Amino acid sequence: MRDALEQIKNTAIEKLEACGDLKALDELKVKYLGKKGELTAILKQMGKLSPEERPVIGQLANEVRAKIEEEVSRRIAQLKEKQLAAQLAAEKIDVTMPGKKFDIGKKHPLTIVMDEIKEIFLGMGFDVVSGPEVELDYYNFEALNLPKDHPARDTQDTFYITENTLLRTQTSPVQIRTMEKRKPPIRIISPGRVYRSDALDATHSPVFHQIEGLVVDKGVTMSDLKGTLEMFIKGLYGEDSKIRFRPHHFPFTEPSAEIDVMCFNCHGEGCRLCKGEGWIEVLGAGMVHPKVLLNCGIDPEEYSGFAFGVGLERVVMRRFGIDDIRMFFENDMRFLEQF
């Protein structure tokens, strides 16, 4: 038994010294010192020894165990040090190497112009407000003087979720919600996404952006609307820009008008850009209908107001010479990198 213990010690030390990784080292430890290991198997035979031999063999067995455990600990320390050195060498960074160039994100063309428009109106004392894109039928239509039988209520134009819930077709509901919560004077713009059931082509999209404005106060007139829009257009297109009003009809304004800007390519002479007319339609506007004010709890005998709305995509397409609205939503980097 003495020889067997010596053999176990020598073999174990030899194999531990040759062991190259921690996993194999742990397996060797279990093989020699585990509950079913070789050393345990020897110790189970001590019952066959005489009383005189048991203490001697027991002491030798403890010495063998201690020697193997010491060797295991030494090799673990060596292998961990070697592993750390290899890891540090693999992760070594040459600080003199030039850094990697990362592409820096830029504003989307819609955001560029949206921010410019916000700054123009903020400079005129307007607040920027927002509202839900999933809207109630009342705010999107009824409160804006759009009766149930109005063509704009047709499901072919509107994405209905339920009978009384829909994706907003305009940002005008934000104006209604604002008039319900605030007392005049009110001066706001409400930019945001809107949704209509249009077929997707070069000039139409089921998702697009509007920027609508509202002013309500005592003594507000059509001339205030004209002055505000002139400042807006000059701020957007330049001081030499000119606008004109054409009579139109909107259920929520009375009187109403379409506003054109003189073609900045031909300056009114007529060209391909303006289709020979010399003017380009940019937005709709008018004086807030008295019924709309009443719906919001505002006395039309005491207060008046004007409202206007512009399609953001239309403005951006003219600004950058873009001829297909789909390019705004396709996330083609070849297109976006130009801005």
Give 3-state DSSP helix, strand, coil % of the chain, rounded to 5. 45, 20, 35
pLDDT of the residue at 186: 96
Rounded mean pLDDT, 203-215: 92
Work out the number of other CB atoms within 10 angstroms of the CB of residue 125: 9
State which of 150-154, 207-211, 275-279 shows the largest mean pLDDT. Answer: 207-211
The percentage of residues in the chain with a pLDDT greater than 70, rounded to a whole number, is: 96
Q: What mean pLDDT value characterizes the chain? A: 87
Supply the DSSP symbol for 259. E
Q: Which residue has the tokens 């391909």?
A: 272
pLDDT of the residue at 176: 96
Rounded mean pLDDT, 184-204: 91
Cα gap 313→322, rounded to integer Å:
10
Q: In what order do the strands lie in the sheet with 243-250?
A: 127-128, 186-195, 207-217, 304-311, 279-288, 253-262, 243-250
Helix or strand run (H / E) with residue 153: none
As to burial, measured by CB atoms within 10 angstroms (0-12 exposed, 13-18 middle, 19+ buried), residue 172 is buried
Q: Which residue has the tokens 């050195």?
A: 85
pLDDT: is 36 or 190 the higher one? 190
Domain chopping of the chain, boundaries: 2-90, 109-336
- The strand pair at 127-128 and 186-195 is best described as parallel
pLDDT of the residue at 175: 96
pLDDT in tens, 216-257: 999 999 999 999 999 999 998 888 888 999 999 888 999 999
pTM for this prediction: 0.67
pLDDT of the residue at 168: 95
First to last CA, the chain: 86
Cα gap 315→282, rounded to integer Å:
7
Class of domain 109-336: alpha beta
With bands split at pLDDT 50, 70 and 90, how would you rate the model's confidence at 273?
low
With bands split at pLDDT 50, 70 and 90, how would you rate the model's confidence at 28?
confident
Q: Which two tokens stand for residue 334?
A: 């070849």
pLDDT of the residue at 156: 65
pLDDT of the residue at 305: 96
CA distances from 246 to 5, 83, 132 (A): 109, 81, 32
